[in-house]
Every structure is written in structure tokens, then in C-alpha cells.
A and B are shown apart, each in its own frame.
Chain A
Amino acid sequence: MTIEELEQLAISVRRDNAKFDYQVNVCMDLACASQGAGAIKEALDQAVAASGKNVLVRRTGCMGPCSHGPLVRVDPEKTLYRKLKSEHAEKIVGALGSKPVSELQCDLSEHFEGQVRVVLENAGYIDPSKIEDYIGRDGYKALLSMLTEMTPNGVIHRITESGLRGRGGGGYPTGLKWGTVAKAAGDTKFVVCNGDEGDPGAFMDRSVMEGDPHRVIEGMAIAGYAIGASKGYIYVRAEYPLAVSRLTAALRDARRVGLLGMNICNTTFNFDVEIRLGAGAFVCGEETALLASIEGRRGNPRTRPPYPASSGLWGKPTLINNVETYANIAPIIRNGGKWFHNMGSERSKGTKVFALTGKIANTGLVEVPMGISLKDIIEKIGGGVPGGHKLKAVQTGGPSGGCIPANMLDVGVSYDALLKMGSIMGSGGMIVMDDTSCMVNVARFFMEFCMTESCGKCVPCRAGTAQMHTLLTRIAEGHGSMEDLELLEDLCATVKEASLCGLGQTAPNPVLSTLKYFRAEYEEHIVHKRCPAGICKVSHVEEVTA
């Protein structure tokens, strides 16, 4: 396909869409789908057919505020309906052209106002199974215009200029990484997309892969051109079967219209992508373990250097980026590096998607400019803690991150600020906890996770996490001593220093951050044999040790 053909197609898609008086978009992402969005779509289809009105009913990816689902948005008015059931379909269709059905309507303007959508720009607007829908919203324009107008170096320059940093957790500058792989010696290179999304409680990458699969593929193809690779792999966790089938279909469609394959856009550029399935091992999100897994082996990480950039898949130079990192690429190429650079904070540019969950009114996906305060995310966008409870902490970064206490939420979200507070940006899980959560128990939960997920290759991580878990259990159950706290801190330092890969190196973070900000809670368990949140089953020993 040439750029002219692509533009023609985009125009005709937009023209076809404009023929409809109304577009009824039905969110069919996991949260809404699990509450009958499929049946709602069918009912809407029938109601439209019966009404004789000129309406397009479209299924879309995640619209964001999942706790209000099933959601339907009617365009062009942008009327949002919440908590729908199939029996509401007739009413909604009947109301098209007159006043919206007010009792089903919801006003989430405050929720949406603080958000800026780059990665999620298509979420809620396209049918993920239709490549035409993606093309209609400027999809693949970046890829084809780049192929005709830009050199690989020019692409890398633009990504560097944007200031984009890896969204998989570490925040490594993306342009720098691309440049390194591009310069690495060797004819065969690979592009790998990390879709393992191991952080339990995060689902941004799932939603992007399911809701806008072509965006990821386009980002990977651009990367392939920039670094000189003709083959890519997407590694998707097995728990996401829908992401796998959406990506499979998207790859097939992209090949069919010549956006993947040989001589793309009549140039010498060849590129194709294969999907590889994970098999339920958290450590496989770590890049060297992930590569081992793609090669069909156990997901054991190895020491770096050599970094994958010089020796990755089958020993070849390999670029690994996260799903959301790739999802940012096409807009940067389209709009320029400066455009991206102008969003965000000093050293963290652009936007970040967070999966906002836990004890918060508006759970779901949000995309915010970097630098926005955590407080604004929680209170304005998230709608605060429901049920009269008090906000206690926000967890970011999953098992590698930490708990940020309620009194520190004025800080703006950036890689550096979160690190300074003892947490990390992570991939985007943001779990809100209220006064009903016990921080000792939370620390124990994460340690249990790391203990189970440790691959066992290095001793500090394998044995250290198990020992820390024992100590945390002892404390939670009321058998701990103050010396145990010291021992725990000691172990944290050792495991952090001496572990082979990021899993062990970051496993102490949840403990360290809760010890730092919620030490009193640990002491309550130890000294007074009491769990302030009333979660832990603390055994009351009569002869309390002084």
C-alpha cells in the first residue's frame, strides 16, 4: 500500500462514518464485557434496525471509567450512558434525535477533564477488529510517511528529541536504546514487544493490545525500520487470550493490505511480527528472561552486560520495549518530537496510562500528563475514596514498587519523584488503599508474590525473599520482636544489593516503603499484638514481651 492509497482509504472510511447520523459506541473491554456488554450491543443493533434510524453501532475498546460500566457513548453529542442493561437499548435508540435518557446518563466531566489522551486516543472510538477504523484515525500514516520521508537516523533523532522514556517500569530513554541497537554490529536484529504485564493489578497493556492492536504493531514496524530489523515478536502473557486473538487478527489484516510483509510501501523495507505466549511466570517480564522464554526455554534471567541491545534473541542485537512505549511511537512520528516534549514534566515527558483500582470511586484506565499530582489523580479523576473511608496509601510499581502515604500525594508523578519517595513509576498499576488495609499485610502479600515468583537462580533472591516472608508473617501474626524489624531491614539491604536481576533487586521495596512510612503499624503488631486495620489475625499472647 502506498501513502496515497492509505490516505484515500482513510478519507473513504471517514466519509462512510459521516453518513451515519449517530454513532453508538459500546465499550466491550473486559470489565464491561463481563457485565453483558455483548448482549447490550445486540439489543442496540436490533433496536436500531427496528427504528429505521441511520445509526452505526460500534463495539470499542476500554473507554476508561470501568466502575460505571457497561458504558455506551453516543456521538456526535458525546452522551455517556452508564450501568446499562439490554432492556435500555430501545430507550436509548428512541432518544436519538431528541433529549438523552437522563436517568441513564452520567456526567464524568471531572474524570475526563484532567486527562490527556495520546496512547488511548482511539480507545472508545474504533472497533479493534477493523483495520479500517484504525486507518480512519490516521493509523499507519506515521509508518508510511516515515518510509517515504525519513531516514532511520532521522526516526531515532525524533524519538530522542521527544524525551520518551520506557513505560515498562525502568524509564530508560527510548531514543538512546534505539540508537544503541541501530549501531550494534550484525545484519540480523530483532524487535521485541514486552506484553507480559506481570504487575498484578495493572491492565493498561492488555487494554492497549485488545483495544488498539494496530497501534502496537505500527510502533514496532517503525522501530524495525529505525534499527534495521525485519522481524518482531510480541510476547503476551497467557492470561490474556483476547489480546492474543485481537493481535493475531490485526497482524493478518495488516499483512493482507500490505502494511506488513515484504517491500512495504514499495520500499526495500520488510517487516513482520510473530506472537509468543507467556506461561504464567512473573520473572519473564524481565528482559533477559523474556528472551529465554521466546527461545522456548525456562525464563531464567542472566547477568547483563551483555545487554539485549548487543546480544539478545539468539545472540542477535535486540530491541525490547514495553507495549505502551510502542503505542507512543506513531503519534510522535506524526506530530513531531517537540510536540511530545512539550507535554509532561522536566525529566518525564508525555503522558502515562495508569490502571486506577482499589478503594476508589472511578476505577479504570486513566491517561494523564506526567507531572500531575497524585492527589489530582486520586481525588479529581478518581473521584476519591468511597464509603466514608479514609485514604491511607497509594501503591505504584507493583511488587517492585512501594506504598506512598496519603500525606505525600501533592507530589507530581514522574520517574524521579516516585523513586525519591521509595516507590517507582512501574508499568502503571495504581492501587488505592484505605484505612481497611493493613500495611504489614500488604508488605507480606508482595513478599509472598516475589518468593513464589523468584526463579531460584540466585541465592539472595531465592532465600532472601523466603526469609523476609517468614519474618513478615511472624510480625503479622503477633510473634515478632523489635529485633525482627532490624533483621528485616538488614535482609532488605542484602537482597537489594546482591540479587541477579530486577526481581530480587526491587523485591524489598514494598517492605522498605511501608517500614519508612508506616513503621508504627509494624510496632503495633509487635508491641501491642494488635492490627490497627483489623485485618491480621494477631494471636494474643498473655505474657507480652516488654
Chain B
Amino acid sequence: MLNIKNLKVGLAEEDKQILNGVDLNIGEGEVHAIMGPNGSGKSTTSYVLAGKDGYNVTAGSAELNGENLLDMDPEERAAAGLFLAFQYPVEIPGVGNMTFLRTAVNAQRKARGEKELTAGEFLKIVREKAKSLKIDAEMLKRPVNVGFSGGEKKRNEILQMAMLEPKMCVLDETDSGLDVDAMKLVAEGVNALRDGKRSFLVITHYQRLLDHIKPDVVHIMANGKIIKTGGPELALEVEQNGYADILAEVA
């Protein structure tokens, strides 16, 4: 599904290297988790995959199902099936959440040559999905993320993901800021989308999310590289001992 090879990335504006050769292979239907200290390059990896401005790829490659992601515009990557749940979802004043969603869904359908959803079809689907994430009609009407609580923003990301039905979902700290119940909801939302084909890359600091979303593989990132890869037990190790041992091990 997602194949990242020796990805090296620096900032466009200043002479600073952030990713120092990331390697990552996620197969169809797999769930991978990335953990790692603050500032290690996890969000940067997700931004570069999604095509955010401001970064220079100096080496390496990133492919989604064999297609070169790095050559595409952000919207082409989205239409190809890449979704990023943002660590900090963006507010868009004046634009109804529902309008935003429908515009996005139809833009992607159009890009893929599919028929656009009518207002009625769309409404039916969105209501159903919103309900399972306990997002009420009021929140759907409000402008995108404006005045949403931290947890509401994260649930809204998952709603967008559910509506867009991507192939490859990258979730950047979707668990931070969630209360216990909300975390369960989000995890259920994610699990409901696991169908053996769709793949996930879950960026998190905490084992507790991985209790609900069981990863197949866990990676540790530090200083812009994946320094260790293992099974779910690796996350438990981090939870108990922090990163010191692992960092020392590879040093």
C-alpha cells in the first residue's frame, strides 16, 4: 500500500534537515503505529506524504500503490486514497461543516470519475456516520472546526475520514485531547473502517489508544528516522520505560 524509501526532507525556507532517511512499508489492510519523542519528525512525515508546502524532499521516494506520491498535488494524493487526520485540525470560519464535507466528497468522486452524490444521498450517509461518532446535527451545521473543543475536532476528523473512505489513513495524534469515552468512540470509528484492505498509520504517544486499535507493527521514530520496528509489545515497552533504552540501544 504505502512504501517509503530513504526519505530525506529539509525545510524549504531554512537550511534544516528534518527527516534523515525514513523507511516504511505498510501492506494492504495493515495497521502500523509510529511512536517517538516530541520533535522527532512524525508530523513532518505525515505532511510530506500529504504534500504540504514548505518542505524539500532531498532524497528517497514515497509511493501509494505503486504511484509516486511526491509528484502529485495534495488533492491528487487525496483522490488516490490518502487521508491525513491532522494533529491540529484547521478552522475555516463561515464554511459549514456539512458544505465542506460535501464539497470534499464530491471533489474526490469527480477526480476519480465517479458520480457525485446528490444533496439527499449525501445527507443520509453523513447523518448515519455522524450518529455513530456522537456528532450531533448542530455540529454539522457549524463552521468547520470553529469553536469546536479539542475532542470535537478530532471526532470531526474521523467523520471526514469515514465519509471519504480513503485507502490509506494517516492519523496524527488523533487520541490526544480525547477523554476516555471519546477515545473509545474514535477507536470504534477507526475499527469500523478496518476491512482487511484499508491500511492505517497511527501516530501516537500512548499505548492506551493501541489497546483499542490493535496495531500489527509498531515503529519508533527518533531524529527523523525509524530506529526500531517491532510488534505491539514495543509500544508496551515504551509505555513502561520511555525512549531512553531504545535510543541508547541504537546509538
Q: Is B a genuine binding partner of A? A: no
- A contact residues vs B (CB 8 Å cutoff): none
B-side interface residues toward A, CB under 8 Å?
none
